[in-house]
Amino acid sequence: MSLETAHSKSALLEYRSDLLSKALLLRRCDLRDSWKEVIPENCLQSLGRLGWDVTAFLSEGEPASRAALPAGFTWLSCADDFWSNLQAIALAQKPHYETTAAPGRLAAAELREMAGPARCELLYTRYRCPLNIGAASEFDVAEEILRRLMVSDRAKIEKGADFDVEEVLLALNLLGVRALATRDLRSFDALNYFYELPRRSLVRMQAHPRLLAFWLCIYKQVLSTPDWLECALR
């Protein structure tokens, strides 16, 4: 009986793994074939040379996911600005960083009470090296970003109301980096939800083409991560 049960569980795990692999492959194929519906040609042209890099990245085969955190790190210091570092991660390149002492703690309540523009500015500054969103000290901040995105922003979008496009896209990029760096399943789910929105709901996001392009490039890498089933079973 015990052997039979063990065999049954093993078969079920293999079945789930096969289903998940197929689902991820289908979504990657869908992204490869339809990403231009999300970022039209005029958005790509507004990015200049970066538009060519984004086009090549989203149209090619499997990317090598390189957004990895050094073992046991507390904080990373990057020489470049936020945009250069996020671009490197989005295009599966390794940003230049050094380990350093962590800054003072940012309370989730402090972030929650800020107005949208001030909140964005703080996130741009604090996560100049975006990989830091994966630091253990940033768990509460990441939770607040996720909560805001999937509760208040989601409700506005589903009602067809106005929403802060820049803040939503910044959140999607940071959560995408967190999903890559820490294999955070709920961050992955948030990316899935927003990608699955009706295309008309994503049109407003074209007002920030760089953040929009980086989000899709990061999402492609998240979809190429091989161990999501293992994360789901933890």
Domain span holding position 194? 2-232
Are the C-beta atoms of residues 131 and 177 closer than 8 Å to each other? Answer: yes
pLDDT at res. 174: 98
Q: Could you give the residue ranges of the DSSP H alpha helices within 67-153?
A: 82-90, 108-113, 116-126, 139-147
State the DSSP H helix or E strand holding residue 98, giving kind and residue range, or none if neither: strand 97-99
Q: What is the dihedral of CA 186, 159, 124, 135, to 10 degrees?
A: -10
Tens of each residue's pLDDT in the chain, 234 residues: 333 344 444 545 555 666 777 777 788 888 888 899 999 999 999 999 999 999 999 988 766 555 667 777 889 999 899 999 999 999 998 888 888 988 999 999 999 999 878 999 999 999 999 999 999 999 999 999 999 999 999 999 988 888 999 999 999 999 999 998 888 999 999 999 999 998 888 899 999 999 999 999 999 999 887 766 555 545
Task: Count the domains in the chain.
Answer: 1
> pTM higher than 0.85 for the full model?
yes
